Amino acid sequence: VKPFVMFGHNHMFGDFLDLVHANGGRLRTVVQNVPEPVHPGRKTLHERLQFVLDPCSPERRPYEIAVQSIDSFVPHPGDQYLIGFTGHKMSPLTAMLRSNFSIVCEPLIHPTAYVSPTVCPGVIIDARAIVSSGVILGEHVIVHKGVIIGHDTVAEDYAVIRPGARIAGHVRIGYGAVVGMGATVIEDLAVGAYCVVAAGAVVIRDVEENTMVAGVPAVRKKLEQN
């Protein structure tokens, strides 16, 4: 059982825990690098940990996961690392982990994904994603559940492809861009750096960097939160 350390807070905690276990690992520690954001009506990480059952325990005991601050973090030989959130906002954390601790996150690919790409450090590919031949995924790109990426497409560092999105062949997704849940990007297009493609949007033209697009076909919207 490979021990895993997750940096971050509880965003997508359930998905990432599943990825760790599906890869024969075990989440031993969560290292919080920033104060945890508050979502009214959602459990905090500490509250959630009390409800997570140990999948390796027949008696279904609680899963013992240590939580510590980044200030007291010391790397441990043999540990695997992953970042508990996604997108370009993690880049200061990944840079710090690399420079201060020589930590590079291994790719984490769900065994049910169907993948033949070139993957860089920190790439995460979740359950049932299909990544076609000739695809290149940059550092810390996350490909969520059930995504389809066509042949020869490139996603640059920190791009996020949300669940069920479909990206055709020969597409370029820029640095830190986010393709929303169930969105569609047709072939030969470029989606610029830091763009946000809204959920369900159908992109049929290039998207300039730092732009949000939404709708069918996708048109430009004011980018509110970037």
Q: Hey, which residues are catalytic here?
A: 151
Does position 45 interact with a copy of itself (CB under 8 A)? The reply is no
12 forms part of the interface with a copy of itself (CB under 8 A)? yes
Residue closer to a copy of itself (CB basis): 66 or 216: 216
Q: Which stretch binds a copy of itself (CB under 8 A): 56-64, 70-78, 94-102, 194-202?
A: 194-202
Structure tokens given for 159: 């791009």
Site string for a copy of itself, 110-129 (x = CB under 8 A): --x-x-x----------xx-
Q: By CB under 8 A, name the one of 121, 136, 202, 210 that touches a copy of itself.
A: 202
- Residue 130, interface with a copy of itself (CB under 8 A)? yes
151 counts as binding a copy of itself under rule CB under 8 A: yes
DSSP string, 40-57: TTS--HHHHHTT-B-TT-
Does 101 bind a copy of itself (CB under 8 A)? Our answer is no
Helix, strand, or coil (residue 164): coil
The footprint of a copy of itself on residues 204-223 (CB under 8 A) is: 204, 214-217
Q: Which of 28-36, 69-77, 89-97, 195-203 is the region at the interface with a copy of itself (rule: CB under 8 A)?
A: 195-203
Q: Does 139 bind a copy of itself (CB under 8 A)?
A: no
Among all chains, which residue has been given the structure tokens 């200030």?
71
User: Given the complex with a copy of itself, which of 97 and 126 has the nearer CB atom?
Assistant: 126
Q: Which long-range CB contacts under 8 A does 66-74 form with residues at least 24 apart?
A: 66/28, 66/29, 66/30, 67/29, 67/30, 67/32, 68/29, 68/30, 68/31, 68/32, 69/31, 69/32, 70/7, 70/31, 70/32, 70/33, 73/31, 73/101
Radius of gyration of the chain (CA): 18
The sign of the CA dihedral 5, 11, 15, 18 is positive
With vertex at residue 100, the alpha carbon angle to CA 94 and CA 104, rounded to the nearest 5 degrees, is 45
Looking at the Cβ atoms of 193 and 201, the one nearer to a copy of itself is 201
Q: Which helix (H) or strand (E) holds 15?
A: helix 13-22
Residues lying near a copy of itself in the complex (CB under 8 A) = 12-15, 17-18, 39, 42, 112, 114, 116, 127-128, 130, 132-134, 145-146, 148, 150-152, 163-164, 166, 168-170, 180-182, 184, 186, 188, 198-202, 204, 214-217
